[in-house]
Amino acid sequence: MAFESSAETERFLCERLLDAAQPIAERFRALFSLRNLRGDGPRRALLQAARDPSNLLAHEAAFALGQMQDAEAIPALEGVLKDLSLHPIVRHEAAEALGAIGLEKSISLLKESLAADPAVEVQETCELALRRIEGQKNASGAESTTISPYLSVHPALPAKQGLSVEQLRELLLNEQEKMYERYAALFALRNDGGDYAVSAVIEALGVKSALLRHEVAYVLGQLQNKAASDALSGVLKNVNEHPMVRHEAAEALGSIADQESIALLEEFSKDPEPIVSQSCEVALSMLEYERSGKSFEFLFLQTPQVQQES
């Protein structure tokens, strides 16, 4: 959903996002507000942020552009994907964003990066993005406009109805299966949301693919089921785990928000890996705003620049 905003509001948000002197949580507040806007200003700011020294912020900016499905961002996102000097988590998110935007003109670069990018997680994301674009092209009108119950654009459509939870579990955990089918099973299990479905999703934190593990942690954050707390805590504590997976585990624990999760986020806000420590900082800040009854996003705060939404 896009919101009307004044030029002053937009300028304030763009400046706050790009101000490296601001705490990371403050910059995320600006980012989350800008993704509700449209136009050259927000786009330029998010694209500049997609090359920020903070890999966490950079990847979130690329993710936001994908969620906005802003076709004008495609050339710059392609530049991010091709730039091997950027962290794999940022290149991965640029590839996912291109898939979310879903235009056929991105196919050639995605195929090139699928073959040439040295990071497996980026290769797998390119595979997903290509399948998503192809699927959108061939989908019926009803399928192509399907809206997620979680109001987000995902790398795969949920598996079609008719498969049992056990069949979906087997698909998700099958290391020989294509990544797109495993993602589709994951989102179908999330949409089911029952105890056995949640258990299957938790089990998938043990799959081989770091990309899939990170999406599993993301889904567990959406589900906000306390049954996942112990498994997610184990992921966050594992310093040998891929930072993109630990980052999603931290955010998921922030969504679950029990006392044990909060204590762990406080502990790992000092983690030596910035992607992890900053994720914990942002999660704790979001919780603080939520508990005080305020919105984390600037657009919903009463400030001189911004009128509070009713």
- Extract the annotated binding site for Fe cation: 59-60, 92-93, 214-215, 247-248
The secondary structure of residue 272, as a DSSP letter, is S
First-residue to last-residue Cα distance in the chain: 15
Burial string for 161-192 (b: 16+ CB within 10 Å, else e) reads eebebeebbebbbeeeeebbebbbbbbbbbeb
Q: How many helices (H) and strands (E) does the chain have?
A: 17, 0
Q: How far, CA to CA in Å, does 53 sit from each of 64, 90, 102, 274, 307?
A: 17, 11, 27, 10, 31
Task: Please name the residue that has the structure tokens 């495609």.
Answer: 74
Going by the annotation, the residues of the binding site are 59-60, 92-93, 214-215, 247-248
Q: Residues 101, 102, 106, 110: what is their CA dihedral angle, to the nearest 10 degrees?
A: 100
Residues 245 and 214: beta-carbon distance below 8 Å? yes
